Amino acid sequence: MEEKRILVTGAGGFIGSHLAKKLYEDGHFVRAADIKWDGYFEEPYYSEKLTLDLRDYKNCLEATKDIDYVYHLAADMGGIGYITKVGADVMHNSGLMNINMLQACVENKVDRFFFSSSACVYPEFKQLDEEVTPLKEEDAIPAQPDSYYGWEKLYMEKMCEAYKKDYGLAVRIARYHNIFGPYGTYKRGKEKAPAALCRKVAEASNPGEIIIWGDGKQTRSFLYIDDCVRGTIMLMESDYDQPLNIGSDRLVTIDELADIIIKISGKEITKKYDLTAPQGVRGRNADLTLVKKVLGWEPKVSLEEGLEKTYRWIESMVMKDKEKR
């Protein structure tokens, strides 16, 4: 693969850090940009590090200067607890970053722009049942996302389309479906379901109990981070410029997800349910027909294998947290 000068925004976060690390290991010049750094990777995973606020257009111009490819993953986001509670900040902060990054890429003549969209763009009326029909890319319109976060992502998809049409900017758009793995947020309210459940089980006594949000019957599909990174790079290198699902089509209940994690832990855990907690849409699954056809990509890492790696890392972090107290 030809060496490129690549910018990864949101490189201090979960997917961004894994992506930057892979691109760096592949021999590219990687400029990592973020407003804060989680610091879960100890070794350097970038050629250059910029700590800046991409809501400021001048910073976006600085970040995109002399860059070939931009992977734009910076966003104000979190798990279901966060995106159901926070609306204005999510739309305002991510909206500013998105608008500024697109314009800066045009001004600095960036060759290609990748946007990390989300399965949250899909309409709520197609996700009302646990046995949900897998979502095809065409299902996003007519639109009815169930969260402000989903509306923000859908609006940015249309902005990418407009910048492609008006300015000739080459765009790539992935709709991520519940990406999980180690070296990511696992506490303080912005973590997603797999990380939250891993942390709860790791923190629980043996025997012990955990609280599951909702009744546990809601369904999702989950994709391991290594598969996500591989699919993202394949999409960026391809000629395909329409939104594309990157996810898994294995549907599981949150109860089943918890049971897998409990089995990995070796603990005796009782599950209790908080029916007042946010749980999002009733069911969501990815249709992978198009991504298999366009990229020849499909998940390789099983849910069990991915959760094993994720649980062991979060377990080690929980132990470190206890030692600090």
Per-residue pLDDT of 240-298, as tens digits, reads: 999 999 999 999 999 999 999 999 999 999 999 999 999 899 999 999 999 999 999 99
Question: For residue 311, is it within any domain?
Answer: yes
Question: For residue 18, is it within any domain?
Answer: yes
- Quote the percentage of the chain above a pLDDT of 70: 100
185 CB neighbour count, 10 Å cutoff = 19
- The distance from CA 114 to its chain's CA centroid, rounded to whole angstroms, is 13
Residues 65, 78, single domain; the answer is yes
pLDDT at residue 81 is higher than 90: no
Residues 163, 56, single domain; the answer is yes
Residues 43, 143, single domain; the answer is yes
Cα 2–Cα 3–Cα 9 angle in degrees, nearest 5? 125
Is the separation of the CB atoms in 297 and 231 below 8 Å?
Answer: yes
φ and ψ of 174, to 5 deg: -110, 135
Q: Residue 305's domain is classified under what CATH number?
A: 3.90.25.10
CA dist., res. 39 & res. 23, Å (int): 18
The two tokens of residue 168 are 């000739």
Residues 169, 194, single domain; the answer is no
Residues 204, 97, single domain; the answer is no
Total-model pTM: 0.96
Q: How many structural domains compose the chain? A: 2
More confident position, 325 or 119: 119
Question: For residue 69, is it within any domain?
Answer: yes
Give the mean model confidence (pLDDT) for residues 114-119.
Answer: 98
pLDDT at residue 43 is higher than 90: no
Question: For residue 293, is it within any domain?
Answer: no
149 noted as active-site residue? yes
Question: For residue 212, is it within any domain?
Answer: yes
Q: What is the mean pLDDT of the chain?
A: 96
Residues 175, 195, single domain; the answer is no
- DSSP notation for 40-100: ---S---SEEEE--TTSHHHHHHHHTT-SEEEE---S--SHHHHHH--HHHHHHHHHHHHH
Question: For residue 290, is it within any domain?
Answer: no
pLDDT at residue 325 is higher than 80: no
Question: For residue 145, is it within any domain?
Answer: yes
Residues 100, 238, single domain; the answer is yes
The pLDDT of residue 2 is: 82
Is the separation of the CB atoms in 31 and 46 below 8 Å?
Answer: yes
1: confidence class by pLDDT, cuts 50, 70, 90: low
Residues 166, 26, single domain; the answer is yes
Residue 270: strand pairing partners: 209
Residues 190, 83, single domain; the answer is no
The pLDDT of residue 189 is: 85
Contacts of residue 52, defined as CB under 8 A and 6 or more positions apart, other chains included, come to 33, 35, 59, 62, 63
Question: For residue 289, is it within any domain?
Answer: no
pLDDT tens digits, 162-213: 999 999 999 999 999 999 999 999 998 889 999 999 999 999 999 999 999 9
Residues 118, 108, single domain; the answer is yes
Which entry of 24, 148, 149, 155 is annotated as an active-site residue? Answer: 149
Q: State which residues form the domain around 188.
A: 180-220+251-284+301-324
Residues 317, 256, single domain; the answer is yes
Q: How far is CA 7 from CA 31, 64, 111, in A?
A: 5, 7, 12
Residues 89, 206, single domain; the answer is no
Give the mean model confidence (pLDDT) for residues 90-110.
Answer: 98
The pLDDT of residue 147 is: 95
Q: Residue 49's domain is classified under what CATH number?
A: 3.40.50.720
pLDDT tens digits, 46-58: 999 999 999 999 9
